[in-house]
């Protein structure tokens, strides 16, 4: 296979406009002749479905939740980046592009990222137009704050609920198209298979979660906007239902999966409290604007704090180690997420951790002193309240405890410049693709990418493909051999799972997988650890297919069956993640191989041997996936070692 | 218009509007009645009653008030029936005392109590003054101005009547504690600032009206004992 | 903590439901209510029974998926939270906890504790948006919005569509939900153009779907996890009356 990213020629700043003015479009009368399937209703899915509906395409939109508004984009707290330069602090499209490439540790595709930065401004306009109540200054203009990895304030936000407000904006646009009859919405419906006809993606098989009915759906094109696969780790900040199955089905049908090992571990989450914990809660990165991160300087103090003999508030300033400010004077507490996470792990591994030992402090005492409690309350009130509800401690009085947790997956389905996968007619947008964040995503960039893909990229690029499909008539999926075959396959898998009748619940097996992933494919990875991890994942997989128990029937609501279907895919995905991590013998972004670090413990990138996108091709269940490399040529920027110290 | 009145907010609009009418009426009624307290001769009260009975404006307002009152009741029944149907299966356990006032949840029951009291009250006084007449009204009547004062003060010398009127005033009071702010809210004449103010004004109004209506029979009863 | 749970079980939409009693032991006060239900389900699966079905997803109080009626209150005995944010430290060892689904004609039970809230989607589809096509918006700073107005819009927009307002209202009224959207868009200059149509269409849809009438008891506001204020209902009333006064 020849990986062709289809990047338009010409200067970086003109690629997108060149593409748009030369691509094929579908004329308005023909648009209604095309069916487009969009799976997922998060920022990418909802914005794409709505925008395609507005253009006149017939869209079928699917979500496993009870309403499109529940997609997990809703949980994004901090904000969305855009190069508006409203603050007059020197921001520009180029700077946003540059920060994103650098933040991604030079493992993202230049042309895609530039386009992302380019359309970022229109996203803000669009959202304001939809009635998203962004924070404003007293003069009535839009307000910004700063996020990790940037020297400017370019983050737009709506209190601590930016993701929610942006999603509700897109959901509103989607609702408008549903009412207009351009989008048909299928809720509580999960995609379980991709249907390929003559090498082209032509539809999907879904399961109606309420009735258990398997249903075939035809589309001239299929768009996956199904989010990330962070729940491979069981504990993550993802929603309980977030899963990698749609992308994994595509992978098994021939779509390449890129950089699966690139996982983001978010530094500011509430630490794990016990074995029944079901998920981790994120505390927005925006907290690092004012909060200072520290652990005790002395091992004895750390031990006393852990044992409850010493209160953090009693520890004098000179006994505290503000390790991010110490190590990275220029960016301080606002270093990128991967750097902050690793630094916390390093301190905790050295036994300076507090709480259970797997936690560090995020302290607002200085900020409250400087700005007053009222200002802090205005900025972070809802986050503080959330923390207090969970931990039962008042963060205005005692420092918060935080620890890194799995938060986002930069890897995903390989897509070209048009966001098309290696299967013709199959597109992947938002977190489901791999394209824009390289080895590490900067804060407030996920919302930007999701909406960029859905509002401003896919609605154009998909037409370049559809223009070649003009003569293709709608298929009748109920009477088509490929669709029938796909339904049989899905039915077979479900029957197999139901018939195991073992002794263990899906969750208990998922937790086993999660432990392996966190310990072996987590923040610090080694060759031995990864090899051991792969072996252990296989053991869990074997146990799963022998011992899982799914009570109830398949032809009705069956939550355990849903979870089992997802876990079966996580088990395979986990192995590919470990394998990708094993093959990449360098440290970059969220991927940290302990063998490859500088003397100061910083990531040691190997641009000579690993400056490429690793795209994996499925070869069969018993065979090793095949690696393809898409070289990353940086024409327009100079590659440097990331330096957040000065 | 029929669309508007069929909508839930339209129906409530009517409840609110008629409610405002009744709120105003109650205040005027109390003002007139309070004259009983200030003039032992009954002359002031009789004059006021006569004025209310003969003034052409009041004569026009009277049937409007009656229609408003009937609409208030009809729409209360319609809304309440709809509200009951909106939850076909109830909860095994539901705690609402922490989230809403008792009166607000029992407006319909309180309304029925007020209505029953009102029927008794009308048959006691208004009916006699307007239609059937009464011997006490004739006693000491001046020209065509009846002695309503005598009728009222004589009537309130019976302890069980006084108790009945106190209960009526209490039911009315509870109804009003919710009704006053609610009427503003339904018309959209409230916001976070005005809500507190209206609550306070509503409470004062309720205390004055319900208290006033309760004090009159008590006052007359006690005065009769002395 | 050891607890007794009385949980509503119902096979499907048509089935007749019943309360089942379960005993559950060794629950950590630090675990969340839903984690406690996870433990119960783990126990049921081990015993070969079907686990209790309940809606949940983000488990951090923002997606609005979860919603249980616990001991007589929507989202249970704590303030300003969703069910997933309720922690077991709010209960005492030995407590009996009654868990019911949202009860409202507009929210039919699908299974056990899971209800169908698509009525909310339908109400928003009737007009809960600003009709602006992708790409046609002017610059974000083209029209200024006073900070107070933006904050007020945000207060309303905080609604997560969980349905606690309907569930707790003695009339099963959806006014707070409808008000949150109407009010958010009415405050902002962008939303004014369609204000008349929006208020009329959304209220009509709300009535059509069988929700009760608001009697201003205020319970919705108290149980709302996001503190959406009754002031927004006042604004909805205002918007609706104004919309009907206009020719």
pLDDT of amino acid B1: 62
- C-alpha distance from residue A516 to each of A228, A393, A506, A521, A527 (Å): 19, 31, 16, 7, 14
Q: Are A470 and A140 in contact (CB under 8 A)?
A: no
Of C111, C130, C145, the residue that ends a domain is C111
Question: What number is the average pLDDT over the span C113-127?
Answer: 98
Of C117, C137, C160, the CB nearest to A128: C137
Q: How far is CA A92 from the centre of its chain?
A: 25
C-chain residues near B3 (CB < 8 A)? 204
- C-alpha distance from residue A149 to each of A89, A285, A484 (Å): 15, 11, 50
Of C92, C111, C130, the residue that ends a domain is C111
Q: Which residue has the tokens 């404003």?
A: A136
Residues forming beta bridges with residue C230, ordered by sequence position:
none
Whether residues C103 and C15 share a domain: the answer is: yes
Rounded to whole angstroms, how far apart are CA atoms A272 and A277?
7
Instruction: Kindly state whether C170 is in contact with chain B, defined as any CB-CB distance less than 8 angstroms.
Output: yes
B touches A, CB cut-off 8 Å, minimum 3 pairs: no
Per run of 10 residues, the mean pLDDT along chain B (length 226 residues) is 88 97 95 91 91 89 93 97 96 96 97 96 88 85 85 93 96 97 96 94 97 96 90
pLDDT in tens, B186-195: 999 999 999 9
Whether residues C34 and C51 share a domain: the answer is: yes
A-chain residues near C190 (CB < 8 A)? 128-131
- C-alpha distance from residue A243 to each of A225, A349, A570 (Å): 11, 30, 8
Rounded to whole angstroms, how far apart are CA atoms A354 and A403?
10
Judged by DSSP in three states, C101 sits in: coil
Q: How many helices (H) and strands (E) does chain B have?
A: 11, 0
CA angle B22, B24, B30 (to 5 degrees): 100
Question: What number is the average pLDDT over the span A528-552?
Answer: 97
Q: Are C144 and C218 in contact (CB under 8 A)?
A: no
Whether residues C138 and C213 share a domain: the answer is: yes
Q: How far is CA B132 from the centre of its chain?
A: 23
Closest residue of B to C238, CA-based? B188
Of C51, C85, C111, the residue that ends a domain is C111
Instruction: Kindly state whether A192 is in contact with chain C, defined as any CB-CB distance less than 8 angstroms.
Output: no
Q: What is the CATH number of the domain that holds B48?
A: 1.20.1300.10
Q: Is the residue at B150 inside a domain? A: yes
Residues of A with a known catalytic role: 337
How many angstroms away from the CA of B193 is the closest CA of chain C?
9
pLDDT in tens, A408-434: 999 999 999 999 999 999 999 999 999
Chain C from 41 to 70: CB within 8 A of any B CB: 69
A451 C-beta neighbours (distance < 10 Å), count: 33
Q: Do A129 and C132 touch (CB under 8 A)?
A: yes
A5 C-beta neighbours (distance < 10 Å), count: 17
Whether residues C79 and C127 share a domain: the answer is: no
Whether residues C35 and C130 share a domain: the answer is: no
Count of structural domains within chain B: 1
Q: Are C17 and C109 in contact (CB under 8 A)?
A: yes
Rounded to whole angstroms, how far apart are CA atoms A247 and A258?
11
Query: Could you list the residue range(s) of the whole structural domain that residue B17 is in?
Result: 2-79+102-225
DSSP 8-state secondary structure symbol assigned to residue C80: S
Q: Is the residue at B156 inside a domain? A: yes
Q: Which residues are CB-contacts of C32 (< 8 A; sequence separation ≥ 6)?
A: A278, A390, C59, C84, C85, C86, C87, C88
Instruction: Kindly state whether B93 is in contact with chain C, defined as any CB-CB distance less than 8 angstroms.
Output: yes
Q: Do B91 and C211 touch (CB under 8 A)?
A: no
Q: Is the residue at B92 inside a domain? A: no
Judged by DSSP in three states, B190 sits in: coil
Of B79, B187, B192, the CB nearest to C229: B192
Of C12, C116, C151, the CB nearest to A556: C12
Q: Is the residue at B34 inside a domain? A: yes
pLDDT in tens, A194-240: 999 999 999 999 999 999 999 999 999 999 999 999 999 999 999 99
* pTM for this predicted structure: 0.96
Question: How confident is the prediction for chain A on average, in pLDDT?
Answer: 95
Question: What number is the average pLDDT over the span C71-96?
Answer: 96
The beta strands (E) that lie in B115-200 are given as: none
Q: Are A117 and A158 in contact (CB under 8 A)?
A: no
Instruction: Kindly state whether C191 is in contact with chain A, defined as any CB-CB distance less than 8 angstroms.
Output: yes
Judged by DSSP in three states, C114 sits in: strand
C-chain residues near B9 (CB < 8 A)? 203, 236-237, 240-241
Rounded to whole angstroms, how far apart are CA atoms C73 and C59?
19
Ordered by where they begin, the domains of chain A are: 267-405 (3.90.700.10), 478-604 (1.20.58.100)
Whether residues C139 and C98 share a domain: the answer is: no
Q: What is the CATH number of the domain that holds C154?
A: 1.10.1060.10
Chains that contact A by 3+ CB pairs under 8 Å? C
pLDDT in tens, A167-191: 999 999 999 999 999 999 999 999 9
Count of structural domains within chain C: 2
Whether residues C213 and C164 share a domain: the answer is: yes
pLDDT of amino acid A66: 97
Query: Could you list the residue range(s) of the whole structural domain that residue C173 is in?
Result: 118-245
How many angstroms away from the CA of C36 is the closest CA of chain B?
20
pLDDT in tens, A429-450: 999 999 899 999 998 999 999 9
Q: Is the residue at B91 inside a domain? A: no
Instruction: Kindly state whether C43 is in contact with chain A, defined as any CB-CB distance less than 8 angstroms.
Output: no
Confidence of residue A622 (pLDDT cuts 50, 70, 90): confident
User: A58-62 and A35-39: which strand pairing?
Assistant: parallel
Closest residue of C to A504, CA-based? C46
Interface-testing mutation among A551, A562, A563, A567, with chain C (most C C-beta atoms within 10 A): A551
Whether residues C129 and C51 share a domain: the answer is: no
Instruction: Kindly state whether B41 is in contact with chain C, defined as any CB-CB distance less than 8 angstroms.
Output: no
Q: Is the pLDDT assigned to residue A144 strictly greater than 90?
A: yes
Q: Which residues are CB-contacts of A391 (< 8 A; sequence separation ≥ 6)?
A: A270, A400, A401
The dihedral through the CA atoms of A476, A482, A485, A491 has a sign that is negative
Q: Indicate the burial class of B81 (C-beta count within 10 angstroms; 0-12, 13-18, 19 or more).
A: exposed
Q: What are the structure tokens assigned to A487, written together? A: 């339904």
Q: Do C98 and B192 touch (CB under 8 A)?
A: no
Instruction: Kindly state whether B2 is in contact with chain C, defined as any CB-CB distance less than 8 angstroms.
Output: no
Q: What are the structure tokens assigned to C125, written together? A: 């589809």
Rounded to whole angstroms, how far apart are CA atoms C132 and C153?
18
Instruction: Kindly state whether C132 is in contact with chain A, defined as any CB-CB distance less than 8 angstroms.
Output: yes
CA angle A65, A71, A74 (to 5 degrees): 140
Instruction: Kindly state whether C124 is in contact with chain A, defined as any CB-CB distance less than 8 angstroms.
Output: yes
Q: Is the residue at B96 inside a domain? A: no
Q: Which residue has the tokens 């707070």?
A: C176
CA angle A101, A106, A108 (to 5 degrees): 65
Question: What number is the average pLDDT over the span C13-30?
Answer: 96
Instruction: Kindly state whether B89 is in contact with chain C, defined as any CB-CB distance less than 8 angstroms.
Output: yes
Whether residues C141 and C179 share a domain: the answer is: yes
Nearest residue to C84 (alpha-carbon basis) of C96, C75, C95, C92: C75
Q: Is the pLDDT assigned to residue A1 strictly greater than 80?
A: no
Q: Which residues are CB-contacts of A439 (< 8 A; sequence separation ≥ 6)?
A: A104, A105, A107, A108, A259, A262, A338, A410, A588, A589, A590, A591
A-chain residues near C131 (CB < 8 A)? 176
pLDDT of amino acid A151: 87
How many angstroms away from the CA of A616 is the closest CA of chain C?
30
B-chain residues near C18 (CB < 8 A)? none
pLDDT in tens, A74-124: 999 889 999 999 999 999 999 999 999 999 999 999 999 999 999 999 999
Q: How many helices (H) and strands (E) does chain C have?
A: 8, 7
Interface-testing mutation among C17, C62, C67, with chain A (most A C-beta atoms within 10 A): C62
């Amino acid at each position: 296979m020849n990986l062709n990213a289809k990047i338009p020629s010409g200067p970086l700043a003109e690629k997108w406009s060149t593409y748009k003015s030369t691509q094929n479009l579908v004329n308005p009368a023909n648009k209604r002749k095309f069916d487009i399937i969009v799976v997922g209703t998060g920022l990418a899915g909802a914005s794409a479905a709505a925008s395609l509906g507005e253009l006149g395409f017939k869209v079928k939109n699917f979500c496993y939740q009870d309403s499109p508004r529940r997609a997990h984009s809703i949980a994004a707290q901090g904000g969305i980046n855009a190069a508006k330069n409203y603050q007059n602090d020197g921001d520009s499209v180029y700077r946003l592009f540059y920060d994103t490439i650098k933040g991604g540790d030079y493992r993202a595709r230049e042309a895609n990222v530039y386009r992302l930065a380019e359309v970022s401004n229109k996203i803000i306009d669009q959202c304001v137009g939809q009635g998203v109540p962004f924070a404003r200054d007293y003069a009535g203009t839009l307000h910004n704050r700063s996020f990790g990895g940037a020297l400017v304030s370019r983050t737009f936000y709506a209190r601590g609920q930016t993701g929610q407000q942006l999603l509700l904006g897109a959901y509103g646009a989607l609702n408008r198209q549903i009412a207009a009859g351009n989008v048909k919405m299928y809720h509580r419906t999960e995609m379980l298979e991709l249907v390929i006809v003559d090498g082209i993606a032509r539809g999907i098989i879904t399961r109606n979660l309420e009735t258990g009915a398997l249903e075939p759906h035809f589309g001239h094109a299929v768009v996956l906007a199904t989010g990330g696969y962070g729940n491979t780790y069981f504990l993550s900040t993802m929603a309980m239902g977030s899963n990698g199955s749609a992308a994994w089905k595509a992978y098994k049908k021939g779509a390449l999966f890129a950089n699966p090992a690139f996982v983001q571990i978010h530094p500011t989450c509430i630490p794990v409290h016990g074995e029944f914990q079901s998920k981790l809660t994120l505390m927005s990165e925006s907290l690092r604007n004012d909060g200072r991160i520290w652990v005790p300087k002395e091992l004895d103090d750390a031990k006393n704090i852990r044992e409850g003999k010493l209160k953090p508030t009693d520890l004098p300033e000179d006994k505290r180690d503000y390790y991010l400010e110490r190590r990275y004077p220029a960016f301080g507490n606002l270093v990128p997420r991967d750097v902050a996470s690793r630094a916390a792990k390093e301190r905790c591994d050295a036994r300076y951790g507090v709480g259970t030992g797997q936690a560090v402090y995020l302290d607002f005492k200085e900020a409250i002193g400087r700005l007053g409690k009222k200002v802090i309350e205005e900025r972070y009130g809802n986050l503080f309240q959330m923390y207090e509800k969970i931990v039962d401690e008042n963060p205005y009085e005692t420092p918060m405890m935080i620890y890194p947790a799995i938060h986002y997956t930069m890897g995903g389905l390989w897509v070209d410049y048009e966001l098309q996968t290696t299967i013709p007619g199959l597109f992947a947008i938002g977190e489901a693709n791999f394209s824009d964040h390289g080895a590490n995503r900067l804060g407030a960039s996920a919302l930007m990418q999701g909406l960029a893909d859905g509002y401003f990229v896919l609605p154009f690029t998909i037409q370049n493909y559809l223009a070649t499909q003009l003569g293709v008539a709608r298929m009748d999926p109920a009477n088509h051999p490929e669709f029938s075959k796909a339904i049989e396959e899905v039915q077979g898998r479900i029957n197999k799972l139901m018939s195991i009748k073992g002794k263990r619940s899906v969750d208990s097996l998922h937790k086993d997988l999660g432990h392996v992933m966190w310990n072996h494919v987590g923040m610090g990875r080694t060759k031995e650890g990864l090899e051991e991890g792969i072996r252990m994942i296989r053991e869990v997989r074997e146990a799963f297919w022998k011992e899982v128990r799914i009570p109830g029937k398949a032809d009705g609501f069956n939550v355990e069956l849903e979870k089992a279907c997802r876990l079966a895919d996580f088990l395979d995905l986990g192995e590919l993640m470990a394998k990708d991590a094993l093959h990449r013998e360098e440290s970059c972004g969220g991927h940290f191989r302990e063998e490859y670090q500088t003397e100061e413990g910083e990531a040691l990138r190997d641009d000579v041997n690993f400056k490429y996108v690793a795209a994996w091709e499925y070869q069969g269940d018993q065979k090793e996936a095949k690696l393809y490399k898409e070289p990353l040529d940086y024409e327009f920027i100079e590659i440097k070692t990331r330096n957040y110290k000065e | 218009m029929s669309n508007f009145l069929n909508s839930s907010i339209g129906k409530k609009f009517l409840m609110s509007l008629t409610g405002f009418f009744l709120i105003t009426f109650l205040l005027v009624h109390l003002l007139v009645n309070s004259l009983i307290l200030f003039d032992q001769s009954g002359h002031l009260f009789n004059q006021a009653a006569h004025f209310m009975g003969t003034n052409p404006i009041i004569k026009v307002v009277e049937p409007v008030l009656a229609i408003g009152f009937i609409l208030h009741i009809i729409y209360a029944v319609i809304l309440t029936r709809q509200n009951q149907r909106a939850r076909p299966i109830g909860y095994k356990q539901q705690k609402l005392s922490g989230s809403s006032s008792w009166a607000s949840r029992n407006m319909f029951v309180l309304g029925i109590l007020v209505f029953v009291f009102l029927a008794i009250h009308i048959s006691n006084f208004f009916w006699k003054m307007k239609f059937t007449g009464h011997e006490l009204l004739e006693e000491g009547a001046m020209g065509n101005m009846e002695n309503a004062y005598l009728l009222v003060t004589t009537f309130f010398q019976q302890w069980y009547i006084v108790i009945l009127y106190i209960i009526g005033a209490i039911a009315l009071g509870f109804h009003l504690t919710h009704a006053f702010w609610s009427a503003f809210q339904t018309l959209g004449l409230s916001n976070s600032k005005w809500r507190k103010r209206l609550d306070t004004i509503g409470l004062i109004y309720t205390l004055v009206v319900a208290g006033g209506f309760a004090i009159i029979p008590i006052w007359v009863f006690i005065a009769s004992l002395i | 903590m050891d607890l007794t749970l009385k949980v509503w079980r119902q096979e499907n939409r048509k089935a007749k439901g019943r309360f089942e009693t379960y005993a559950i032991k060794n629950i950590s006060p630090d675990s969340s209510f839903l984690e406690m239900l996870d433990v119960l389900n783990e126990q049921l699966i081990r015993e070969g029974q079907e686990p209790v079905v309940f809606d949940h997803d983000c488990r951090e109080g923002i997606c609005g998926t979860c919603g249980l009626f616990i001991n007589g209150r929507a989202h249970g005995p704590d303030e300003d939270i969703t069910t997933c944010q309720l922690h077991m430290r709010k209960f005492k060892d030995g407590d009996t906890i009654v868990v019911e689904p949202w009860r409202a004609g507009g929210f039919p039970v699908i299974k056990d504790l899971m209800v169908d809230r698509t009525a909310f989607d339908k109400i928003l589809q009737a007009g809960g948006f600003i009709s602006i096509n992708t790409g046609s918006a002017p610059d974000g700073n083209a029209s200024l919005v006073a900070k107070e107005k933006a904050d007020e819009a945000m207060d309303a927009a905080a609604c997560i569509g969980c349905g606690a307002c309907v569930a707790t209202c003695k009339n099963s009224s959806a006014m707070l939900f409808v008000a949150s959207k109407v009010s958010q868009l009415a405050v902002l200059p962008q939303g004014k153009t369609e204000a008349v149509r929006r208020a009329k269409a959304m209220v009509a849809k709300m009535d059509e779907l069988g929700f009760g009438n608001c009697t201003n008891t205020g319970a919705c506001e108290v149980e709302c996890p996001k503190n959406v204020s009754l002031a927004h209902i006042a604004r909805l009333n205002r918007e609706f009356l104004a919309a009907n006064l206009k020719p």
